[in-house]
Chains A and B, each alone.
Chain A
């Protein structure tokens, strides 16, 4: 190693050091410790005592609410992720047309994404208000029907949250817009020459060329949906009401750690969530070979 190389190495390490230290202290160490604590009884205050797989045993065989939270989270993920993707692609395609005031429309649809999550949750609490809310008010005024109780109704609480999640598709939409800008114009020209209509162009050119973007948004959407927490914490005062119908996995994890002081139990839940997200992401990535088309392939 020459003097310059050594110097570069030293400087490189020095510049990366803040992250290396921060990453070790605030990410690697907690991650490793939470794996260990998941095998312990631990309440933060007194030292952890090793308990083997006890936390997992209780989780799987003695905790009804745990299974309810798993069901709620899968339900939410199964609907919100695909619907968000479809809506975001639809909006992106529409906002990719050359019409007047395009940047205004793009801004309007992106705007919800920059509203702080807590603020938007409180806002939706008002929109979904069965008595005086916007949605039921419109249903009453225009269709003369009484809307459901939305977030307060056992049957409607999860669909309400899914509806809410669709409001914030601005993030993936912008990424899809970038993806659309990347589709080479020659492909459309070629398709037109072959006599393709708008739908065929969308189906056979746009969609395949968007698949790398879909893959990215799908993975990010899955991760976010599995960790769904803030909105439901704000809207149900951290209780997952009514009748546990909005007790999501991350919310129940939080309740175990900071309400019931069962940090070991919560760590076990966190590790399971980590494994599920890892498996889901790996599954999607593995399947992507079959449906994702990259440029030039």
Chain B
């Protein structure tokens, strides 16, 4: 009997020992242990970027950790996973700082999950709203508060394959400058043979659906920032843009086809034949697509995956009479979730990251953007040799510096809206809907969804 009790006690003790050994400790590494012992506050940073981009951020975070003795940042490459974010906020264990997409901020902030940064910004000597590009600052400032600090943004331009231009008898150094030229070039660069499509000249929904961007470049307005409502339903520019998109797919009823018009099914087929985006088989690198619309990150991607590619970059052509515009798809920002345990310490890091270093040296945010080949959100950071002096990057950057950048809709239904735009574009190019029907459907469905969400939010207000 005694032996049985002894055995049980031992078994239970062993179980407890395993649990104790596996119990999560506050310090995850020897550095964190040292930081804890030194009385520093450990804060958690969830990075939206992963892979080599996270490695670059880690270098800067290590610099921050070494630069002072009060705060220690523990960085985790979480990526963009809504599930984790939601459950951490609902479970009241959010990270101290969350790096995330600008598009979801307007959905999260009204639900009281984001801490306003107004007080910190007012007291800060180095973070000044005036320094930032207006379109990214607008993305983080609404309902009378500022909810995050934008860190990286993008700019979309026209990229062309000079070898394909040469083969088509075009001047490889002269990209199309007008819409008419763009279509003319697309005609000459679209190559077919008896087995089918060999090369796409230009297709406005490759590699990503950029319908939202083209609406703006055509001079259209999807969203009225003042009223917070979608207004694209009767916008002649949006409808013209959809008609232009539709011209890229063959019209079975038309007597003659434009050379650049493609059979949507064949495009779909051709498209799935493309290799992975981040690989040497990217259709633009492998010469399957002669002209494309891409962001500044390609300057580093091409160097990495297709160093042999002979390519150029130019502003995207706009239709005649359209106001000079460029396109920047919102931003990646740092925010402090509501209920974060150490907001003061979190701000200390955010402020450090977005302020110039002593002696007028560029800010860590500038270093970071340069390292991952993105565009900083502060104008002052952009106005630097490392961005303006790089021939590939400067074209992208100059777009933001010289043209009007439409604001990405600041609304809790931004994702829903973008999904509707993609859906309707698909239906238009498959000729299941007319451009007019598509524009109307987007406005109606997005506004209806917005009304539902707003009604729920109003009801939730105490």
Q: Enumerate chain A interface residues (CB-CB to B < 8 A).
A: 41, 43-47, 49, 51, 58, 62, 125, 128-132, 146, 148-155, 239, 241-244, 258-261
Assess the A131–B456 pair: CB atoms within 8 A: no
The minimal Cβ–Cβ distance linking B123 to chain A, given in whole angstroms, is 28
Residues in A with CB closer than 8 Å to B271 are 152
Closest to B274 in A: A131
CA distance A258 to B87 in the complex (A): 11
* B459/A46 in contact, CB under 8 A: no
Tell me, yes or no, whether B107 is within 8 Å of chain A by CB.
yes
Residues of B within 8 A of A128 (CB): 272
Contact B272 A151 (CB under 8 A): yes
Would you call B38 an interface residue if the criterion is a C-beta within 8 Å of the partner chain's C-beta atoms?
Answer: no
Q: Write the residues of chain B forming the contact surface with A, with a CB cutoff of 8 angstroms.
A: 82-83, 86-87, 89-90, 107-108, 111-113, 195-196, 265-266, 268-273, 413, 415-416, 419, 422-423, 426-427, 430, 432, 448, 452, 456, 459-460
Which residues on B sit within 8 Å (CB–CB) of A125? 272
Residues of A within 8 A of B413 (CB): 260
B83 engages A131 (CB within 8 Å): no
B432 partner residues in chain A, CB cutoff 8 A: 243
A113 and B112 CA atoms in complex are apart in Å by: 46
Give chain A residues whose Cβ lies under 8 Å from the Cβ of B270.
130-131
A121 to chain B, nearest CB (A): 14
B86 contact from A131, A148, A244, A258, Cβ within 8 A = A258
Report which of A132, A146, A259, A260 forms a contact with B273, defined as CB distance below 8 A: A132
In Å, the complex CA distance between A45 and B83 comes to 11
**How many Å lie between the Cα of A129 and that of B268 in the bound state?**
10
* Chain B proximity of A239: nearest CB distance (Å): 8
Main secondary structure of the interface of B (DSSP, over half): helix
**Chain B neighbourhood of A146, CB < 8 A:** 195-196
Inter-chain CA distance A62–B102, complex, in Å, is 28
Residues A244 and B423 in contact in the complex (CB < 8 Å), given A130-B273, A148-B269, A151-B272: yes
B269 pairs with A149, CB closer than 8 A: yes
Known: A43-B86, A261-B82. 5 other contacts (CB 8 A): A45-B111, A49-B459, A130-B272, A149-B272, A154-B265
Residue of B nearest to A263 (CB): B86
- On chain A, the residues within 8 Å of B427 by CB distance are 243
How near does chain B come to A123, taking the closest CB pair, in angstroms? Answer: 14
A44-B426 in contact (CB<8A): no
Contacts of A151 in B (CB 8 A): 272
Chain A hits for B419, CB < 8 A: 239, 259
Residues of chain B contacted by A58 (CB below 8 angstroms)? 452
A149 to B107: give the CA distance in the assembly, Å: 37
Residues of B close to A47: CB separation below 8 A: 460
- The answer to whether A45 touches B430, judged by C-beta atoms less than 8 angstroms apart, is no
Docked-complex contact A43 and B459, CB < 8 angstroms: no
CB distance from A58 to the nearest CB of B (A): 7
User: A131's contact among B89, B90, B272, by CB below 8 Å, is which?
Assistant: B272
Task: Give chain A residues whose Cβ lies under 8 Å from the Cβ of B83.
Answer: 258
